[in-house]
Structure 1
Amino acid sequence: MSVNGRITTCLLRRLPDNEFSAGLLLIVAALLAILLANSRFAASYFAALGASLGPFSVQQWINDGLMALFFLRIGLEIKREGVHGQLSSWRSCLLPGAAAVGGMLVPAVFYAFFNRDDAEALRGWAIPSATDVAFALGVLSLLGPRVPSSLKVFLTALAIIDDVGAIIVIALFYGGSLSVPDLAVVGFLVALLSVVNRYGVNNLAPYALLGLLLWVFLLRSGLHPTLSGVLVALTIPAQLRPNASKASPSVSPLDRLEHYLRTPVAFIIVPIFGFANAGFSLAGISAAAFMEPITLGVVAGLSIGKLIGVLGTVLLLVHSKAADLPDDATWIQLAGISLLCGFGFTMSLFIAQLAFNDPEMQDRAKLGILVGSLIAGAGGYGILRSVSGRTPSK
C-alpha cells in the first residue's frame, strides 16, 4: 500500500474517535472559512456574519452566546478533575500546573518582545498563550498506544489548567468598562446559584435559568458574558445529594450536564466558531506579511515559546527533584508534547477577537495563529511518531 493509502486508512480508522474527529472537524471548518473568504463568495460570507439578528450580529451571537456553552463545558471538566480527577491533589497537578503556567508566560514574552513598540498590538499578548485541547488530544489519538498513557494524562491536565489561565486572563484583561450595579447583580446571582447547590438541588433547570440571567448581567457589566458558563459550572453539584429520591437520576448533575454538552460543543459549537472567526483574506499577502510584528509574535510564541515554556518548566522541576518525569516517558516525547501545546486554534482565535477591533490586526493575528499552530502541530506529531516505542531514558 502507498504512503497516501496508509495515511488515509489511519484517518478512517480514527474517525470514530471523538477527540480526533472533533479536532478534524474544527480544521475543516476553519479551512472552509479561509476558502470562502478568498473566493467570489467572500462578500456574502462576511455579510452573513455581520448581519443583525436582534440586538447583535450573527458573529456576536456565536462569540458571546454559543461560546458560553463552550466555557460551561470547560468549567464542568475543571470542576470534575478538581473534585475526583487529575487535579484533585497537589502532587498530581504540580507538574502539569507549573508546565501550563510556563507555557502561558513564555509565549506571551515572545509576543511582547516583537510588539514592544506598539501599545495597540501589545493587547494581543495572550493570543499565543492558549492550547487547543481538542486538537492536541486528537493528535495523540492518532498515535494510539505508542504514546505512554502517562503523557496523555499529563497533556489533559496541562490543557485543563491552561484553560483556567485563559479564563482568568479574559476576565482580567479583555473586558470593557465595568458597571458596578450590574456586577452587584452578578454577585447576587452567583450567591443564589451557590445556595441552590447547597440545598442539594439535582434538577438542572434552576441552574440553567439562573445561568441565563447571569449571562445577561455579565454582558451588561463589562465582563465577557462567556464567563457565565464557568461560573455556572462551578456551582453544579459533582455528586448526587442525599435527599435524591428513588425516581431521581442515578448520575450526578455535573456528569449529566457534561454528557449532554460533550457532542454539541465538540461537533457543532466549536466548528461553528472556527467557521465564523478563521476566515481572512490572503490577498496581498507576501513574504513581508509574515514579518509583521503581530504575525511574528504569534508564530514565535506558539511554535517556540510553548516548547521552551512547557519543556523548560518540566526540566526545572524534575532536575530539582520537585516532581518526577511521567512514567515511561522520554525527554524527546515531552518535547513533542510541548510542541503540540502550541496548537492554540480555538482559544487563540477567541482572544484575538477580544484583543483587536481593527480587522487588519485581527487578520495578522489569524495568519500567525494558522502558521504557528501548523508548525507546532506538525512538529509535535513528527517528533512523537519518530520516537514512539523507544526505551525511556530519564
Structure 2
Amino acid sequence: MGFFWLQSVTFFILIVMGYLLFAPRLYVLSKKHHFITPSDYIQKRFKSKGVTLLASLLMLYGLCNYLLEQIVAIGHGVSGLTGGTVPYQAAVVFFVTIMIIYGWLGGMRSVAYTDTLQGIALLVGVTVLLIGSMIYFGGVPNATDYAATVSPEKLGVPDSHGVVGWFSMLILVTIGAAIYPHAIQRIFAAKSERSLKNSLSWMAWMPFITSGFVFVIGIIGIQAFPGLSEGASEQLVGMMANHIAMQNSFFYWAMVVLFGGIIAAIISTADSVLLTLSSVISKDIYARYINKEADDQKQILVGKLTGVAMVIVLLLIAWYPPATLYRIFILKFELLIQIAPAFLLGLYWKQLHRYALFTGMLAGTVIASAMAFAGLQPLGIASGLWGLFVNFILCVGLSYVFKVSERETTLLGKEIS
C-alpha cells in the first residue's frame, strides 16, 4: 500500500477513543454485578435469550477469526525471520501447541504479566530494527526516491474513493477493536477505574512509537525487498530482521529480543483470546442454554476442551491461509461490529428495546455477511459499516415502536446508574 498505510497509526489511536465511549461506565457496572464475560452485561441489560445468544455467536466468530489471524501471523513471522529455514507450517504447529498448553495452565493474570514483558521486548527490538534498517537499507528518503521511480502509486495521494475507504477503515476499527470480547474482559479485570483510565491514556500516544515505527520500517522495505507479492510482503519484517541480524552480534541479539517479543506477544494475545473463547462457550452457551446444572469445574472443562477443538480446526484452516492477514483482519470486524449498539446505545439509552436490538443485530449481520462475501463496498464504505448503519436505524426506530415499559425503565435505571 505504501504511504496509504499511514492510517494504521491513526486507527490504533482512535481505538482508545472507542474504549472511552463505554469502558469507564461498563467497568463500574461490571464491579457492581460481577460480570465475567461481555454476554453477562448483555443478559443483565436486556434480559433476552435471543439477544444474548446472537451476541455470543458473533463474539465467537470474532474470536475465532482473531485466533486465525494470530496463527497465520506467527507462521509468517518465523518463516520470514529464518529465511524459510523453519517452514510456515512447522512454526504454526509448534507455537499452537505452546499456546494450548499455556492457555490450559494459565489465566488472565499470567497474560497481563507476559503482556508487560513482551511489550518491553518489542519496544526495544523494534527501535533497534528501525535504526538498523536506516543504517543498512538507506532510510526513508532513499526508499521514497526508489518508490517514485519503480512504483509511484505507493506515494500517491489517495483519490476520493481512497479517502472514503480510509475513513471507513478508521470507523470500522475504532468501534470493532474496542468491542473485542477479550478486550472487554480485560476491562472487567482492571484493578480500579483509575488504573483503567491510566492504561488508556498511555495507549493513546503509544501508536506513534509502535505502529509508527513499523510503518517506517515497511516504507524502507519497499527498496530493501522490491517486487514482493501481497502475500510475501507479510513476511517483510522478518526478512529485514534476518538481514540485519547477520551484520554483527549486537544486531543479532537485538533481533532475538525483537522476535522473542513478537512471539510472546502473539502467544499471549492468542491465549487471552482462547481464554475468552472458552469462557463464552462454557458460561454463555453451555451453562446458560445446554446444562444449567453444571458446576464451575465442569464448565471450565467443557470450555477448555471445546476451545482446543476449535483451535485444531483453525490450525487446519491456517495450514494454507484462505486470505492475507489484512483481509482476515478486516473480515473479523465486519460482523463483530454488529454487537456495538448493545454497548454504545444500551449503556446510555434506557429506551433501547430488546426486540429492536435483536432485529437490528440480525439484519446488520445478514447484510454485512452478504456484502462481504460478494465483495460489495458501495461508495468505498466497508460492508460491515453498511450493516451497522441498518442495525442502528432498526435499533432506534423499532425501540419507538415496541417501547420499554415504565416499570422496566425504572428498574433498568437502578441497575445501570
- TM-score when normalising by structure 1: 0.26
Larger radius of gyration: 2
